[in-house]
Amino acid sequence: MMSPPLIELRGVTKTYGTGTAAMQALRGVDLSVTQGEFVAVMGASGSGKSTCMNILGCLDTPTTGAYHFQDIDVGTLTRNQRALLRRHYLGFVFQGYNLLNRTSALENVELPLIYRHATPATRHPQARRALDQVGLTGWEHHTPGELSGGQQQRVAIARAIVTQPIVLLADEPTGNLDSARSIEIMELLTSFNRDQGITIVMVTHEPDMAAYAKRVVHFRDGLIEKDHHNDVR
């Protein structure tokens, strides 16, 4: 029997602005993602892929249509409830790392745990374990300025997984990296998907990076143009 989708968008539209200035970013998107999938989202600038990711990440809400997360209708949640869903179930990785410059790698990774009001005795070992999982044992006390781009993105990934999220949303995670570092980051994400069952939805414009995903969804003009499975590596 097919397991129910972890994430489901049904007839989702998103319009910004009103009247003649209105811009329809999504025009009726249906998308289902099951637990444990690794999905790459592709499309030209303005195709709707970033808007879709913002809705999946509870950073934005549909104009019409429905978003279900684990059978919960996200549209019925309050802003605070959406923030809790984001905090407890989702991890985020961005192209620009989004690290705090004057704080150590360990402190950066602890941030989501601080938002959860975890005690230092709880969060220190959890953050160290997350850094170990991304291959940065021994770098705990270095600030972002003392780390390479690839290492900064590893810290960002450690921060995203320290809360043991169900879903990791990655927006161009290799966009600022050279090809060798990009491969390292993709292999890391693949291992989290394979070994820990973390569901990954990743926006990328690079076919080489999309090839790591099990499935590729192409957006065009606010709609899904193509949705296909990759040959698994």
Range of the domain at 200: 35-58+90-229
The pLDDT of 58-78, averaged and rounded, is: 95
222, part of any domain: yes
SS3 state of residue 44: coil
158, part of any domain: yes
144, part of any domain: yes
Using N-to-C axis directions, what is the helix angle for 120-133 and 105-115, rounded to 10°? 130
Quote the number of domains for the chain.
1
63, part of any domain: no
How far apart (Å, rounded) are the C-alpha atoms in residues 87 and 77? Answer: 14
- Total Cβ atoms within 10 A of residue 173: 27
SS3 state of residue 105: helix
pLDDT range class, residue 160, cuts 50, 70, 90: very high
pLDDT range class, residue 3, cuts 50, 70, 90: confident
Q: Which of 185, 95, 100 is nearest to 144 (CA)?
A: 100
**Amino acid, res. 111:** L
The pLDDT of 65-76, averaged and rounded, is: 95
64, part of any domain: no
**154-to-130, 161, 227 alpha-carbon distances in Å:** 10, 11, 29
The pLDDT of 85-102, averaged and rounded, is: 93
pTM of the model: 0.94
CATH number of the domain enclosing 215: 3.40.50.300
For residue 21, give every residue at least 6 positions away whose Cβ sits within 8 Å of its Cβ, in sequence order, or none: none
Percent of the chain exceeding pLDDT 70 equals 98
The pLDDT of 98-124, averaged and rounded, is: 94
How far apart (Å, rounded) are the C-alpha atoms in residues 201 and 196? Answer: 15
Q: Looking at residue 231, what is its pLDDT?
A: 75
How far apart (Å, rounded) are the C-alpha atoms in residues 177 and 170? Answer: 14
Beta partners for 10?
A: 66
22, part of any domain: no
How far apart (Å, rounded) are the C-alpha atoms in residues 220 and 46? Answer: 8
